[in-house]
Structure 1
Amino acid sequence: MSTALHTILENFQQRRPLRAGSLIITIYGDALMPRGGEVWLGSLINVLEPFGLNPRLTRTAVFRLTQDDWLQAKPIGRRSYYQVTESGRTSFTQAFKRIYASASPDWHGEWTVAMLSMLDNDERRLLRQKLSWLGFGQVGPQTMMHPSANVTDVEKILRNNDLQDKVMLIHGLNNGDKVTPAMLDQIKTCWDLESLGQDYQMFLDMFQPLLHELNDCSINDEQAFQARTLLIHEYRRIMLKDPFLPDELLCANWNGRAARQLCANLYQQLWQAAERYISSQLETADGPLPAANQKFLRRFGGLQK
């Protein structure tokens, strides 16, 4: 095992609490969704043990993900298989299409504003969380906004939570200059980009040594799976906090760009060996996992064989 990968894996294993559910979500989104989204629990337990997750911890985490409507159980005989729910698929699709994007979204000065004043406290708390996952920033207690929101995703969240008749969405273009000093000041108020930049720097410091080592030596299929899983796991943790703002609204030396490029470069080097390991170790009720779909090959602008 490379020195850099050993350090990354050890760093994960020593975290307390060890968030098994979060790592399982990463594996479902990165490895299993492109192959149908189902796996035998026993095979999942086996591939998770080298990450420091014992069988009891994995079973408990999977049970909780089932309670939270991420997964649904499919018992067959003495074996249990777990499939992503429809709600889980929606959440995975929204999050992971940002994670595997090759660049920041194009922007022409448009903004989307969500007015939450007609919601009760519980509804407002729920919608704030879900819009935050889409990158919306909070302007005031009852108002959120984003400069490049995917309106389809926003409307789907409103429909799925029966809030489409209680929330006003306003779409418009900024008059005059596309970027103004007032706009940049407002961005600093709505989003904590300084803290986010520090997270990206930690990601760069963690994974740049691995990229350098892979240029000089190879790793086996299991290690490639571990490296790819932790790469996406760490990147996903940051991306969930990243509002995915257009480049025009970010500083010239924004290190999120370098982190995205590093993640794409490492993924390109790791994906084929990791896929071989996934095919050899994980099972569905019908036997081996099916091949990854074509969407998988479009990650980070296109994976090269």
Structure 2
Amino acid sequence: MHARSALFDLYGDHLRARGSQAPVAALVRLLAPVGIAAPAVRTAISRMVIQGWLEPVGLPDGRGYRATDQATRRLDEARARIYRRRDEPWDGHWHLVLVTPPADRSARGRLRADLAYLGYAELADTVWVGPVASPELAGVLTRAGATARTGRARDLEPSPVEAWELAALHASYAGWSAVAGELVAGHLAAHDDPDEAAFAARFHLVHEWRKFLFADPGLPAEVLPDDWPRDVAARHFAAEADRLKAGADRFVARCLPGPADCPA
């Protein structure tokens, strides 16, 4: 687990309802149970400030960092996708994006990753397709220094579904219950404090489930196989996350006010 992605998880899953901000010391304490060392946390914070995801803020308990508006929008979108899948009816139209990419190579790489995160797949060079138009598309293009023309298409041949690696995704969803069970059991056994154990287990559970945001484009049921295992996996995730939430919330509450009540 990388410090940057762990911070995104922390802000999105635990700090969003607490003003989306926390002192640096609290961030370090909260990430210690999931194996992120203090130097890695501080380095990741600095990089996220440069990238526009966090901003410094003075807090009663010391210097801290708050999620920016850009980060808040991304975190809210991610949270909606983590805890509930799209349930709007699909109108049968695909969203096409014809990208004029940026000149900078690293910016092009980030753009490709961001488009995939939004649920798009590359049909051909600079031509991307998704099941619906993402509200984040304009922001992603702007940050990358790219432009695009967009359109809608209904009967594309061959089917755009071929653009996604659905076999690997199917296998990941089908094996989720076993993976999640081992993960949670391991954390619950590794921590003496039950609230810290619940926090670490739930944190890692959400972190692993969050990976589906990058792999699953959220294709409508109309184009998926009948035995698609996403809903079964999602129900298992939600049940485990709910079961661990009370203890995790208690641990976060203990860590935020100051160091005295939080295990070192």
- Aligned residue for 1:251? 225
The amino acid of 2:247's aligned partner reads A
Alignment partner of 1:43 is 2:16: no
CA deviation after TM superposition for structure 1 residue 191, in Å: 0.8
Alignment partner of 1:131 is 2:115: yes
- Aligned residue for 1:168? 149
Instruction: Give CA deviations for 1:173-203 in whole Å, capped at 9, x if unaligned.
Output: x25xxxx9842xx312x11112223333443
- Aligned residue for 1:14? none
Which residue, 189, 192, 195 being the options, matches 2:168? 195
Alignment partner of 1:149 is 2:122: no
Return the alpha-carbon distance in structure 2 between the equivalents of residues 105 and 267 of structure 1: 24
- Report the RMSD for the aligned CA atoms in angstroms: 2.9
Which residue, 82, 88, 95 being the options, matches 2:71? 88
Q: In structure 1, the residue corresponding to 2:65 is in which secondary structure? A: strand
The amino acid of 1:267's aligned partner reads A
Instruction: Give CA deviations for 1:38-60 in whole Å, capped at 9, x if unaligned.
Output: 00111221222222223222222
Q: Where in structure 1 do 4 or more consecutive aligned residues deviate above 6 Å?
A: 210-213
Relative to the length of structure 2, the TM-score reads 0.81
Return the alpha-carbon distance in structure 2 between the equivalents of residues 90 and 107 of structure 1: 23
Unaligned runs of 5+ in 1: 1-17, 214-218, 285-305
Instruction: Give CA deviations for 1:241-297 in whole Å, capped at 9, x if unaligned.
Output: 21111112111222222221111111222223322222222249xxxxxxxxxxxxx
Return the alpha-carbon distance in structure 1 between the equivalents of residues 242 and 151 of structure 2: 39
Return the alpha-carbon distance in structure 2 between the equivalents of residues 63 and 47 of structure 1: 17
Instruction: Give CA deviations for 1:216-239 in whole Å, capped at 9, x if unaligned.
Output: xxx932222222211110011222
Greater RCO (Cα-Cα under 8 Å, separation 6 or more) = 1
* Alpha-carbon spacing, 1:142–1:277, altered in 2? closer, same or farther (3 Å): same
Unaligned runs of 5+ in 2: 187-192, 259-264
Do the aligned residues in 2 keep the contact of 1:203 with 1:234 (CA within 8 Å)?
no
Matches within 5 A, 1:1-305: 18-75=1-58, 79-102=62-85, 104-116=87-99, 118-122=100-104, 125-150=109-134, 152-158=135-141, 163=146, 166-172=147-153, 174=154, 182-183=158-159, 186-188=160-162, 190-208=163-181, 220-283=194-257
Relative to the length of structure 1, the TM-score reads 0.71
CA deviation after TM superposition for structure 1 residue 37, in Å: 0.7
Q: In structure 2, the residue corresponding to 1:167 is in which secondary structure? A: strand
Do the aligned residues in 2 keep the contact of 1:65 with 1:71 (CA within 8 Å)?
yes
Do the aligned residues in 2 keep the contact of 1:104 with 1:247 (CA within 8 Å)?
no
User: Identity of paired residues, percent?
Assistant: 26
Q: How many residues align?
A: 250
